[in-house]
Structure 1
Amino acid sequence: MLLNRLGWLTVHHRLRVLAMTVLLVVVGGVVGVGVFSELTTGGFADEASESERARVTLLEEFEEGAPNLVVLVTPRAGTVDAPDVVREGEDLTRQMAGEPGVEQVWSYFSPGSPQSLRSGDGTRALVLARIGGDDDQVVHAVEELSPEYTIDNSVVSTSVGGSAEIARQTQEQIQHDLERAEIISTPVLIVLLVLVFGSVVAGALPFAIGLVAVVGTFFVLQVIAFFTDVSIFAVNLTTALGLGLAIDYSLFIVARFREERRSGLSHEDAVVRAVETAGRTIMFSAAIVAASLSALLVFPTVFLRSFAYAGIPVVLLAAVGAIVVLPALLAVVGARLDRWQVRWRRAPRARHQLTPPGFWHRVATRVMRRPVLMGGAVLALLVFLGSPFLGVQFGFADHRVLPEGTTSRTVQETVDEEFARGETANLYVVARDAWTSATPADVAGYAERLSDLDGVSRVDAATGSYVDGSQVAGPRDAGAAFVNETGTWLAVVPSVEAMSPEGERLVEEVRALPAPFSGLVGGPSAQLVDTKDALFDSLPLALGVIAFVTFGVLFLFTGGLLVPVKGLVLNLLSLSATFGAMVWVFQEGHLSELLGFTPTGTLDTNMPILMFCVAFGLSMDYEVFLLSRIKERYDVTGDNRHAVAWGLESTGRLVSAAALLLAVVFVAFATSGITFIKLMGLGTALAIVMDATLVRGVLVPAFMRLAGDANWWAPRPLRRLHARIRLREGPLDDPGERRMLVGSGHSGEADDVRESQGVPERN
């Protein structure tokens, strides 16, 4: 009744609804456009982790930290030890030290600097700096510093790199990629929308709903950004989901509206009926998608939580737009909805007329004739596709996510190839109260033991430098930087790659080594270890939230316990196949040349979690639409096989079209130059297409055929609960339709009925 009243209210006050919508979009656009300057490029670390606490302690109590800016100095001729090159390097170091925001500078050209800041052949040297402030302040500072320290004169040439420049160029690349994705996808979507919706006018409606969802979400993000950090990467999800779900929901409202018109309802009655039926399904479909995205809130990193901040409002706004704004548009457009048709439309028929059966009805019928054979073949295919996921290796994004030739990537590759490892990715041990439990001799002994670990190149401490268990240098002039009144810290320079299994192993060994004081271990490798642990520790709770909400909504739609379990299992199987394909492509590097990325041997730890929540929600979106129509028909006929075939026929074309349109949106992101954005776009598009075809077209009818009446079974108390609060698109309107369907042989197509013992299945 609530949706019925909402539908009539919207229809009767259509102009007011549209005027209010325009006003809200304008206000939201004016306020929300400023959100881009409020978003952060950081947020990948767990703020409560040991590595993050070590970083903060080092900065606040010792005024030290890891370098985040690297200047690579290359002489025009000779080596970096030539007098004119040394003078240029010294001037460069002094100038860098005086820049606003630069808190520390290390340079090969400074007195007492380690030889590791000079390349092996002496043709390059490093100037390292640390820019202070949070991630956004660092990126803002490097925007000014990067062009200034990209020098090309008669003595030297310099290039700027380091984590700060990598972050800045990643942000710029993503913004450029987002614009390109919109340029690529928009004309394709326009053509497909006109073809799918059948007319130019109808095809334009989803863009209006998408505008409401996206602009409204930008406004919400602007508000959220006043209270907490929000990652700039969430913008990608906002635009993709906003437009994609607007298309999905609009397609189902318009399709139901046309169906009701063909059944004889007036224009306004059909609009209200579409809101009452398809609108109900949209509401609970949106609830499942939002719940899947809300699971990201349990994770401790700003990066993942930001996708929930963006995803939840964009889903809800797309649903509200489809249930409120779209009906107002339909009421205003009226008979002009089908103006400028671009495809042949089949002859109208009433909802109950299933003869001749359509494509999806025939597909379902054939699958249900041989459910074990056809379902088993698809299951085997999904298991095969998912098998590479058993060998997944998780890591963090590094400079290799950028396109080849990007300056910061080139600098880092040169540093990795020509310089001793670890100088820009040190581990550090921070002991705030070291001198209460240890002496300088204790610190020296601990440094010696650290330097003897496999994978350690050198250890620098207040007492000197250590290599292979022995002291190689006494305290330098900079030794005072390693101490304060109560504590000390040690720099552990690794000889292994920081973002690698070897780097993670080194962290565990450093933490396991007995120390004479209570200390915190930090650095890039430690951050990788801690973040992976935090994410995987939160994963069971996130999965529990998704499973609980999904099971509850599907039960309320179907009244059975087996169908929700089937939905969860099949979705997990489909997503595991998608993840297996992503391991095969992005971790192992197959198709890397074709897709234009550099494989690293790992998947970014955040991406499978993000993809799971997004793709699972979208998959269940289609599941809700399919099951709502299956249950609607089963309630009338009591015939399980007929209900499945009818439900697939009713939704198959719509789900396929919606999946195609949504996949186009995400495939556009696969053109990104940033590897993890490419992975998210391609992986999500693959999951959507696989779910809409193999799962909905084969596995669902096969499973439901084998289960039969057990699909709808539930204990008596749960049946009473479902009878009270069940959710469905609504009963059939024609009071004679039930009698006609049951008595006319439509309790299953004639050939199906004969094949299934000639007896309709009953609940």
Structure 2
Amino acid sequence: MNLTQPTVTPSRRLLRALHDHPRRALVALFLFVVVAGAVGGPVAGALRSDGGFAPGDADSVRAVERIEAATGLQPSPGVVLLVETPPGSGDDPVEAAADTLAGIDGVARTDVAGAAPDGTSALVVGTLAADADEEATARAALDAFADDDGVTVGGGAVVGVQLGEQIGQDLARAETFAFPVLILLSLLVFGGRAAVLPLAVGVTTVLGTFLALTGINQVYGVSVFALNLIIGLGLGLAIDYTLFLLTRYREELDRQGPTLGAVLTTMRTAGRTVVFSAATVAVALATLLVFPMGFLRSMGLSGAVVAVVAAAAALVVSPMIFGLWGAKLARRRTSDGAEGRWYHVSHAVMRRPGLIAVATAAVMLVLAAPALRTAWTPVDGTIVPPGQSARVVSDTVEGEYGGTGTTPVTIAVDGDGAAELARQASGLPGVVAPAEAADLGGGVWQVDLEVTGDPAGEDARAVVTDVRELAADSGVDALVAGPAADFIDQQAAIADSLPLAAALLVLLTILVLWLMTGSVVLPVKAVVMNALTVGVALGALTWIYQDGRLTGLLGYTPNGGIEPTNFLIAAAVVFALSTDYGVFLLGRIKEARESGEPEREAVAVGLGRTGAVVTAAALLLAVAIGAFSSSEISFIQQIGIATAIGVLVDAFVVRSLLVPALMGLMGKWNWWAPMWLRRVHDRIGVSER
């Protein structure tokens, strides 16, 4: 369709207003940022810090709900106290700690769970009421024993609170590290006062996303882990989009001068590419909504929102800055970017396209190979940093108490058959003691099985599977809860949803790229190259975290595998950003080709005009989101490291070598599409002319 006809459209009127009255527009932007910060800023403290790793309708979740409905109590302790018992102290410290814990709102029952073999400590566990505010109860417990050096507070409720606090500290640390580096790099890359542009768009993006999440959080509880993705991805995309727009505006300054026409051309070409880029990023992350886990949905929803807000902010703020400074944003020295280093690199690659394509793909496959041996591990105590009290309690219980104070496998039976099921389950491999059925009232019975090994380890998972088979064979209405059951249900949900999510990711990405290019070959190639980039990033995760490398540098505790939902998030983010850079390059190649350049020359021109931009953007984005590798929470580390590796590989290897090699190899076939599909694209697609 023709987008250059001189009709005065609403978008043109808006651009004229932003360009002609930049100071008024910037005042309005400032007011928006202030309101967004005031209204949206507090959302960080309102996000969920617990759960979300198992489907809401899973048997393990329904088992907990069944027990809570019958008893009014949570089925496992929410607060666990590690009480020191020095020689001669008797039971006084334990009784005092139990009395204090019992007086906290939300704690419905306290029990002494046992003593250490050497008699130096004991455990006091607090069971919370089913309707208790876990966060408030955990904070009250921490405050109650804050001045008691002889009591260490842990438990599931405390883990959620301390993770939320740690995320806040990690964000502050990452910002302290990243912002000075980003400002310095922005001054070098953008040059002079133009460095204000990514800063303004980045702040607008982050606070605008917080404002949007304030409303979303009222309807759907968002996980606190999304904060890291919002800030890292928001800053990264703000840098990407503004750098691309500024580069194109500088080209138009050379041609048209500081006029409205230069802005209109920039927004018609580079601005449209930004829209396509945001669409591909949002689509890739939105596919996480297919999975029924709250954690994945939170990350997917937040990522999609931040991509849309980043594009909107870039497209609105950039014309203001262009109108305000105009010619002052020009390059210090003018040169034809198509004749630069990246232009010559592209021609050099296309002289031997087959060899370079095969060699590059082979190296990437080797680097991706470790991802094939990834072992899945559940969320466990190692997610909490070693310095936190919940981690101290968890490690002590595991090391000195053999898991005392936990209930690895809990069975909730509705109706008859509980006693017989308990008898049969007691004889299963891995169950270390006979179990009895406890009447909870209302026809509901509870059976607790003591199982060898970790609460979510192989023994516990085998017991869960066996119990479910016993219940199914005997016709007993039994639901199994506990860490092992949660992990099994999580894996089953991922296996069920992954084919649909992958299909949507591929099909929607291909659709957006087809709308942009009109080709069916280029979108398919983009998906394949993105998959290679994702494989390299995930292979690095496995090589580092599963194999326990760089523990001293990164400060994490290896547990022999990777948590599967984190793996999926890292894959989605890397795939999204790989498509993001691909859109930038394809947009310029398509523009050069439509202006009449031969196939290989169009590729060289496109890479010449975007190579420096993409590599600079990748470096800045790697700093923005890679800064979270300094987090003390391994979840955040893994996403930051995988993303940083992915964007750098994509910019320096895929876009520099693999893309020009494959495009040079295929020539005009890059743009092939069936005739009927081409006619459809002619009606609804986009042309740069």
What is the TM-score when the length of structure 2 is the normalising length? 0.94
Aligned-partner SS, 1:424: coil
Of residues 317-326 and 9-18 in structure 1, the stretch that sits farther from structure 2 once superposed is 9-18
SS in 2 for 1:71: strand
Deviation of 1:152 after TM superposition, in Å, equals 4.6
**How far apart are residue 172 of structure 1 and its match?**
1.2
Q: Tell me the equivalent position of 2:575.
A: 616
The alignment partner of 2:682 has SS state of helix
**1:663-682 → structure 2 map (5 Å cutoff):** 663-682=622-641
Return the letter of the residue paired with 1:373.
Answer: L
Shift of 1:180: 0.6
Q: Which residue of 2 aligns with 1:86?
A: 91
Asked if structure 1 preserves the Cα contact closer than 8 Å seen for 2:80 and 2:405, the reply is no
Distance in 1 of aligned mates of 2:181 and 2:656: 25
Per the alignment, residue 122 of structure 2 pairs with 125
1:259 paired residue among 251, 263, 267: 251
Distance 2:84 2:227 in 1: 38
1:39 & 1:722 partners in 2: Cα distance? 43
Give the aligned partner of residue 198 of structure 2.
206
Q: 2:271·2:315 contact (CA, 8 Å) conserved in 1?
A: yes
- Is residue 384 from structure 1 mapped to residue 366 from structure 2 by the alignment? yes
Task: Write the distance in 2 (CA, Å) between the matches of 1:237 and 1:222.
Answer: 16
Following superposition, the deviation at residue 311 of structure 1 comes to: 2.0
Match of 1:539 among 480, 498, 504: 498
Which residue of structure 1 lines up, in the alignment, with residue 649 of structure 2?
690
The 5-angstrom pairing of residues 180-329 of structure 1 reads: 180-199=173-192, 201-329=193-321
Bigger Cα displacement from structure 2, 642-651 vs 261-270: 261-270
Aligned match of 1:142 = 138
1:22 matched to 2:38: no
Structure 2 match to 1:408 = 390
Residue equivalent to 2:334: 347
The answer to whether the Cα contact below 8 Å between 1:25 and 1:215 also exists between their aligned partners in 2 is yes
Task: List aligned pairs for 1:502-513, cutoff 5 A.
Answer: 502-513=459-470
Question: Which residue number corresponds to residue 40 of structure 1?
Answer: 48
1:107 is matched with: 112
Amino acid at match of 1:54: A
1:429 and 2:433 matched: no
CA–CA distance in 1 between the matches of 2:495 and 2:255? Answer: 52
Distance 1:606 1:326, change over 3 A: same
Amino acid at match of 1:219: L
Which residue of structure 1 lines up, in the alignment, with residue 447 of structure 2?
Answer: 490
C-alpha distance in 2 between matches for 1:346 and 1:510: 74
* 329-338 vs 547-556, which moves further: 329-338
- The count of corresponding residues between Structure 1 and Structure 2 is 677
- Alignment match, 2:69: 60
1:420–1:524: structure 2 CA closer, same or farther, 3 Å change rule?
A: same
Quick one: which of 439, 458, 473 aligns to 1:501?
458
Report how far residue 287 of structure 1 moved: 0.8
Choose the corresponding residue for 2:153, options 160, 172, 178.
160
Letter matched to residue 347 of structure 1? T
Q: Secondary structure at the match of 1:547?
A: helix
Counterparts in 2 of 1:365 and 1:716: CA distance versus 1, 3 Å: same
Aligned to 1:420: 402
Give the distance between the partners of 1:134 and 1:669, measured in 2 at CA: 35
Is the counterpart of residue 336 in structure 1 residue 311 in structure 2? no
- 1:364-383 to structure 2, matched below 5 A, reads 364-383=346-365
Number of the residue aligned with 1:473: none
Distance in 1, matches of 2:464 and 2:49, equals: 26
Identity of paired residues, percent?
38
Alignment of 1:1-12 (within 5 A): 1=3, 4-12=12-20
Name the stretch that deviates more: 668-677 or 220-229.
220-229
Deviations along 1:380-403, one digit per CA (max 9) or x if unpaired, are: 111111111111112222221233
Partner Cα separation in structure 1 for residue 444 and residue 380 of structure 2: 32
CA contact (8 A) 2:570 2:638 kept: no
**AA of the residue aligned to 1:405:** G
> 1:638-672, CA deviations, whole angstroms, 9 ceiling, x for partnerless residues?
52211111111111000011111000011110001
Structure showing greater Rg: 1
1:75 alignment counterpart: 85
Q: 2:530 is matched with which residue?
A: 571
- Corresponding residue number in structure 1 for 2:39: 31
Residues 63 and 479, structure 2, Cα contact 8 Å, conserved in 1: yes
How far off its partner does 1:280 sit?
0.7
Matches of 1:403 and 1:483, distance apart in 2: 37
For residue 304 of structure 1, what is the amino acid of its counterpart?
A: L
Equivalent pair of 2:533/2:575 in contact (CA under 8 Å): no
Distance in 2, matches of 1:37 and 1:590, equals: 34
> Paired residue for 2:429?
454
CA distance in 1, matches of 2:152, 2:110: 16
Instruction: For CA contacts below 8 A with separation 6 or more, give which structure has more relative contact order.
Output: 2
**1:746 aligns to what?**
none
Secondary structure of the 1:532 match is: helix
Task: Out of 86-95 and 654-663, give the one that drifted further.
Answer: 86-95
Per the alignment, in what secondary structure is the counterpart of residue 226 of structure 1? helix
Where 2:256 maps in the other structure, the secondary structure is: coil
Which whole-Å CA distance do the structure 1 matches of 2:612 and 2:152 have between them? 54
- Following superposition, the deviation at residue 408 of structure 1 comes to 1.7
The change in CA–CA distance for 1:134 and 1:312 in structure 2 (over 3 A counts) is farther
1:724 and 2:683 aligned? yes
Q: Per the alignment, do residues 319 and 134 of structure 1 end up closer, same or farther by CA in structure 2, a change over 3 Å counting? A: farther
Structure 1 residue ranges without an equivalent (≥5): 109-116, 463-478, 732-763
Deviation, structure 1 residue 622: 0.7
Q: Which residue of 1 aligns with 2:6?
A: none
Partner amino acid for 1:91?
A
Of 177-186 and 379-388, more deviation after overlay is shown by 379-388
CA contact (8 A) 2:354 2:661 kept: yes
- AA paired with 1:138? E
Residue 705 of structure 1, CA deviation: 1.5
Distance in structure 2 (CA, Å) of the matches to 1:130 and 1:725: 61
What amino acid maps onto 2:233 in structure 1?
L
1:124 deviates by 2.6
Letter in 1 for 2:425: L
User: Quick one: distance in 2 between partners of 1:191 and 1:151?
Assistant: 44
3-state SS of 1:430 partner: strand
TM-score by length of 1: 0.85
Deviation readout 1:253-297 (Å, 9 max, x if unpaired): 111110011123443321221111110111111111111121122
